[in-house]
Amino acid sequence: MARNVDIERSFLIADDAMQGLWGLQAYIRAAVAVADKDQLGQRLPPIGFKLTHEWKRYYDSQELILEMEKVGEYVISRMCLLDLVAVFEAAIKQFHQLLVDLDHAKKLSNNKYNNYATFLKWAFETVHINPLASTDAVSRLPETCGDVDNARRLRNIIVHNNGRYEERYRTQAEAFDGGWVKTMYETGFEDAIKHKKPLLLSRDRFEYFSHSHVELLHILHNTIQRKFFGHNGGYNYAAESKKVEWHRVLSG
């Protein structure tokens, strides 16, 4: 049987968006490596920039350059993580709504405090039994799902606490039914919570989270297509000899 086209369209939109984040990271990394610091300063606004339609903020462009040299990698990686989590959240909510519309699923609670976590539980339950994926991907699934929930909690401290660790990072770790999802934390998180340290998310760590989100997105999409629509082929870049189409990924 054929794939459901609406589910596949939502999947491809999310898949492209996540690849676009990798492209952005790779481009910025290369651009920063070859940037001339003197010319960079000349291209920045000299003393101020427009903050709102009315207000202007004054700043030191050299101070900005020096600070970005120290923490720019972490700032960019954190911002990309926000987008990564938002894209994945939107995708699984769209998957679920499409299945609800077709009477394949029941509507979930829309409590504003646990909304995303509730949909993650549904996604994890969907892929838990008989997922459509490679043997290696299936064996990684407890950690992969844990990674995605870890990113959700990191997103929360970025949004709600200016990127500094706080107790909610620990307390918001979900106890998923069945206990098969492995709860994941960042290295040194206990000391970081105690001393309210900032999240220093490297490029490599962001890429790791990207791998887990993309892999779980593919497993969830393929499993839904088989479980509800009888399609057993799955969606595989290598099998379809498909390279990244940057003109489409980056510009829609």
| CA gap 6, 159 in Å, rounded | 31
Cα separation of 137 and 73, whole Å?
A: 29
The pLDDT assigned to 118 comes to 92
List Cα–Cα distances, 39 to 58, 76, 77, in angstroms: 20, 21, 24
pLDDT score for 239: 66
pLDDT for 238: 66
**pTM (two decimals):** 0.93
Q: How many CA atoms lie within 13 A of 20 on its CB side?
A: 16
Question: What angle in degrees, to the nearest 10, is found between the helix axes of 203-229 and 5-34?
Answer: 170
Mean pLDDT, all residues of the chain: 92
Nearest one of 12, 26, 80, 22 to 217, comparing CA atoms: 12
Alpha-carbon separation of residue 124 from 108, 127, 145, 181, 247 (angstroms): 14, 5, 7, 8, 33
Would the pLDDT of 1 be above 90? Answer: no
The pLDDT value recorded for residue 240 is: 64
pLDDT at 241 over 70: no
pLDDT tens-place string over residues 101-146: 999 999 887 665 558 999 999 999 999 999 999 999 999 999 999 9
The predicted-structure confidence for 29-66, as pLDDT tens digits, reads as follows 999 989 888 888 899 998 999 999 999 999 999 999 99
Instruction: Give the pLDDT of residue 242.
Output: 72
What single string gives the DSSP state of each residue in 128-140? Answer: HSS--S-HHHHHH
Read off the DSSP letter of residue 184.
-
Q: Check residue 2 and give its pLDDT.
A: 85
For the cut 80, the answer to whether the pLDDT of residue 152 exceeds it is yes
